[in-house]
Homo-oligomer: A and B are copies of this chain.
Amino acid sequence: MAAELSAAVLGSTGYSGAELVRLLARHPKLEKPLLLRRNSEGSETSGMALAGINGNGNGHLPTAAFAWEALPEHGIELLFLATPHGASRELVPEAMARGLRVIDLSGAWRLKQAEHRAVYGFKDADGNMAAKLDASAVYGLPELNAESIAGAALVANPGCYATSVILGLAPLVAADLIDREKGIISDSKSGVSGAGKEPTARTHFVSVADNFSAYSVFGHRHTGEILEQLRLDGRQLIFTPHLLPIPRGILSTIYVHLKREATAEEIRDCFGDFYAGKRWVRIYPAETLPEVQFSVHTNYCDLGFVLARDGRRLVIVSCLDNLLKGAAGQAVQNMNLMYGWDEAEALA
């Protein structure tokens, strides 16, 4: 198979970036991805870097210092940004101006409403350009927005928590089954890689192991994504993140009241119909719940539910790997859609 595309990655030293590079390196439609380094970045010290040590590994990937001019020389058409929010906010306008397509893994371009963007405190050099891009950026959740993604110049890859919550609720929202006035609660739990690679008191092994904690109660940045994609207002959702003593994986336990009495079969059908033909969502039979382990190291979002006997109260459990379906895997899925390839390429 001849490669059809050259892509570059800026920010390959973080957890999502490294996972992205691993996936891109084995993608049959792609040239070996070009790893771009900025001065501020430390050198790569992970096990991945050692992969090619004696020539028996996956082979060294091409690297280059980041410079806009260098990209055409390498034939780069698609740029992945696994950079901090602020950096992505700065870089994307220039990338667009230069005719590149971009998949941005940060929170920089996910939010349409200024009040939701406020939590990031972006300072845009050119407010007009930023506003235009905020409007044109496509929220890269393939199960909801496949068509827009296919034609997008700028794809804002969703947050990991947000992906798990939105996919767990979207079918019920679409079917208008939820009694929003009683409030939706997503009690979500994530592995530590979701907190990033920076060593902090909070990510120290001794702080995390044998522990479990809630954080950012009523104030997590992913809340805006969930509200916007599901068209909820802020009073209708409580989203509570927790830190699990595991390296990777998210489980969201989602509580909703239904507008009317339903049967488990109806709920099952609601999910089944909504996700029919969707390669990377798996619906569990009623009363059978997904666990973190079942989706980790895969690109699946797994969904299961239990309906109370009263037929009115529903608990949904949504699981995914925060580095795959919650980040790098979803980015590759988006690329596959953007270039008309099989949605599972490099992911199965």
- Contact residues of A with B, CB < 8 Å? 15, 26, 45, 47, 50-51, 53-54, 56-58, 182-183, 185, 187, 189, 192-193, 197, 199-201, 203-215, 217-218, 235, 238, 240, 242, 244-249, 251, 253, 255, 257, 272, 275, 277-285, 288-297, 300, 302, 306, 308-310, 313, 315, 317, 348
Q: How far is the CB of A321 from chain B (nearest CB, A)?
A: 11
Cα-based distance from A247 to B209 in the complex (angstroms): 7
Q: Could you tell me if A214 and B247 are in contact, using CB atoms closer than 8 angstroms?
A: no
Cα-based distance from A183 to B348 in the complex (angstroms): 42
Q: How far is the CB of A227 from chain B (nearest CB, A)?
A: 14
Q: Which B residues are in CB contact (< 8 Å) with A201?
A: 45, 197, 199
Q: How far is the CB of A249 from chain B (nearest CB, A)?
A: 7
Partner of A187, one of B187, B203, B308: B187
Q: How far is the CB of A79 from chain B (nearest CB, A)?
A: 26
Closest chain B residue to A193 by CB distance? Answer: B206
Q: Which B residues are in CB contact (< 8 Å) with A295?
A: 47
Closest chain B residue to A26 by CB distance? Answer: B348
Q: Could you tell me if B205 and A245 are in contact, using CB atoms closer than 8 angstroms?
A: yes
Q: How far is the CB of A35 from chain B (nearest CB, A)?
A: 19
A185-B185, A205-B247, A315-B238 given; A50·B217 CB < 8 A: no
Most B CB contacts (10 A, CB to CB) among A200, A282, A285 go to: A282
Cα-based distance from A201 to B240 in the complex (angstroms): 28
Q: Which B residues are in CB contact (< 8 Å) with A193?
A: 206
Q: Which B residues are in CB contact (< 8 Å) with A199?
A: 199-201, 203-204
Q: Which B residues are in CB contact (< 8 Å) with A207?
A: 205, 293
Q: How far is the CB of A16 from chain B (nearest CB, A)?
A: 12
Cα-based distance from A140 to B296 in the complex (angstroms): 31
Cα-based distance from A142 to B306 in the complex (angstroms): 34
Q: Could you tell me if A291 and B217 are in contact, using CB atoms closer than 8 angstroms?
A: no
A240-B315, A246-B211, A315-B240 given; A257·B204 CB < 8 A: no
Q: Which B residues are in CB contact (< 8 Å) with A313?
A: 183, 218, 238
Q: Which B residues are in CB contact (< 8 Å) with A47?
A: 291, 293-295
